[in-house]
Amino acid sequence: MDILEVGIPGKWEPNLPDGHISHFALDIGGSLIKLVYFSTNDEFDVVDKAGRLGKQSLGKGRFHFANFETSKINDCLEFIQTKQLHLGGCQHLEAPPTDTTIIKATGGGSYKYADLFKEKLGICLDKEDEMDCLVAGANFLLKAVHQEAFTFMHGQKEFVNIDHNDLYPYLLVNIGSGVSMLKVDGEGKFERVSGTNVGGGTFWGLGRLLTNCKSFDELLELSHKGNNRMIDMLVGDIYGGMDHSKVGLSSTTIASSFGKAVSDNKELADYRPEDISRSLLRMISNNIGQISYLNALRFGLKRIFFGGFFIGGHTYTMDTISVAVHFWR
pTM of the model: 0.82
- Say if residue 6's pLDDT is above 60: no
Composition of the chain by helix, strand, coil, percent to 5: 40, 30, 35
Q: Please say whether the beta carbons of 218 and 237 come within 8 A.
A: no
- How many whole angstroms from its chain centre is CA 82? 25
Instruction: Count the residues in the chain.
Output: 329
At residue 232, the 3 state secondary structure works out as coil
- How many whole angstroms from its chain centre is CA 175? 6
Q: 10 Å Cβ neighbour count for 165?
A: 6
Measured CA to CA, the distance from residue 107 to residue 28 in angstroms comes to: 5
Q: Please say whether the beta carbons of 30 and 176 come within 8 A.
A: yes
Region 311-324: mean pLDDT is 87
Q: Please say whether the beta carbons of 272 and 279 come within 8 A.
A: no
Q: Please say whether the beta carbons of 270 and 243 come within 8 A.
A: no
Confidence band for 47, pLDDT divided at 50, 70 and 90: low
Give the model's pLDDT for residue 173: 97
**Taking CA 190 as the corner, what is the angle to CA 164 and CA 202, rounded to the nearest 5 degrees?**
105
Give the model's pLDDT for residue 204: 92
- Say if residue 313's pLDDT is above 60: yes
Region 301-328: mean pLDDT is 89
| Listed range (75-89, 106-120, 123-137, 211-225) with the worst mean pLDDT | 75-89
Measured CA to CA, the distance from residue 142 to residue 302 in angstroms comes to: 16
Give the model's pLDDT for residue 243: 65
Give the model's pLDDT for residue 162: 87
- Say if residue 248's pLDDT is above 80: no
Q: Which domains does the chain have, with CATH numbers?
A: 2-128 (3.30.420), 200-231+271-328 (3.30.420.40)
Region 260-275: mean pLDDT is 92
Measured CA to CA, the distance from residue 304 to residue 170 in angstroms comes to: 6
Confidence band for 45, pLDDT divided at 50, 70 and 90: low
Task: Looking at mean pLDDT, say which of 41-45, 93-97, 196-200, 246-250 comes out highest.
Answer: 196-200
Region 11-39: mean pLDDT is 74
Q: Which residues of 33-47 are buried (b: 16+ CB within 10 A; e: fewer)?
A: bbbbbbbbeebeeee
- How many whole angstroms from its chain centre is CA 32? 9
Task: Give 122-147 pLDDT, tens digit per residue.
Answer: 999 999 999 999 999 999 999 988 88
